[in-house]
Amino acid sequence: MPGDPPKFPAEELRAVARDDREAHRHIDALHRELGSDHPTREAIDEHVGALRKRAPIGAIVANWFDDPRTQIFINEIVQAGL
């Protein structure tokens, strides 16, 4: 069973994204991918990369994603989904 990562900051990201529909699309897709039965690293990286390009959303997602606990968790769920 994977350990507990830092909580995905979905609500904070949504609040900062305001009317940015593309950002909301990536936030929702990333959130779904993290909870998927078969998450892929490629899909996670795609959504994180898109969100990193949007200030100030980029800083929030980077702080969450770059945390070593998040990286360990993502590696565990991706491997478990195989």
What number of CA atoms fall less than 13 Å from residue 62's CA on the CB side? 10
Tens place of pLDDT per residue across the chain (82 aa):
455 778 999 999 999 999 999 999 999 999 999 999 899 999 999 999 999 999 899 999 999 999 999 999 999 888 886 5
d(CA 82, CA 21): 31
The residue extents of the domains of the chain are 10-80
The predicted pLDDT at position 1 comes to 44
Distance between start and end Cα atoms, the chain: 14
Look up the pTM and report it: 0.88
The predicted pLDDT at position 81 comes to 66
